[in-house]
């Protein structure tokens, strides 16, 4: 059973950099899956931040792209998120998740079958 566990500071100062790590257990990060970060502001919906493949290839949400860096450490079976120049609007529960891409003919998609328990990050001075 794959498990994901987020870790990192729960408080970040405005204009600072948010840094989180997601440890993957029960499976290899070098499998044929993509690894994503998703966030959820208090009382609001889900927002996809970006994803990484074990090769280091990344894709980011265009609305956050200028501030986001996702990296992978295959030796530790984990991946990380850095979000720079944070403001109060970045206060959210941050989840890591495993993504599986699917395609058939012209149909294409991705689904997230394993999620971490989430970690609340508050931007607070």
Partner 1 sequence: SYELTQPPSVSVSPGQTASITCSGDKVGDKYASWYQQKPGQSPVLVLYQDAKRPSGIPERISGSNSGNTATLTISGTQAMDEADYYCQAWDSSTAVVFGGGTKLTVL
Query: Measured between alpha carbons, how far is 25 from 40 in angstroms, rounded to an integer?
Result: 23
Q: Give the residue with the Cβ less far from partner 1, 3 or 30.
A: 3
Instruction: Find the binding residues for partner 1 in span 33-72 (CB under 8 A).
Output: 36, 38, 45-48, 51, 59-63
Rounded to a whole number of angstroms, the CA Rg of the chain reads 14
CB of 59 to partner 1, least distance (A): 5
Residues 6+ apart with CB under 8 A from 63: none
Q: Of 42, 28, 32, 35, which Cα lies nearest the Cα of 93?
A: 42
Q: Give the residue with the Cβ less far from partner 1, 75 or 103.
A: 103
Residues 6+ apart with CB under 8 A from 46: 38, 39, 40
CB of 124 to partner 1, least distance (A): 21
Cβ(78)–Cβ(14) below 8 Å: no
Of the candidate residues 16, 27, 41, 118, the single one contacting partner 1 (CB under 8 A): 118
Of the candidate residues 12, 95, 121, 123, the single one contacting partner 1 (CB under 8 A): 95
- The window from 10-18, 20-28, 76-84, 116-124 that contacts partner 1 (CB under 8 A) reads 116-124
List interacting residues with partner 1 (CB under 8 A). 36, 38, 45-48, 51, 59-63, 95, 99, 101-102, 106-113, 115-118
């Amino acid at each position: 059973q794959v498990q994901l566990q987020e870790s990192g500071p729960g408080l970040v100062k405005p204009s600072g950099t948010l840094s989180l790590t997601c440890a993957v257990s029960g499976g290899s990060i070098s499998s044929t899956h993509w690894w994503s970060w998703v966030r959820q502001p208090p009382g609001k919906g889900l927002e996809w931040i970006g994803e990484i493949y074990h090769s280091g290839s990344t894709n980011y949400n265009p609305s956050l792209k200028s501030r986001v860096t996702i990296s992978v450490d295959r030796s530790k079976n984990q991946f990380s998120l850095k979000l720079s120049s944070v403001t109060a609007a970045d206060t959210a529960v941050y989840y890591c998740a495993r993504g599986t891409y699917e395609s058939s003919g012209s149909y294409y998609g991705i689904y997230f079958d394993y999620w971490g328990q989430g970690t609340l990050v508050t931007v607070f001075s």
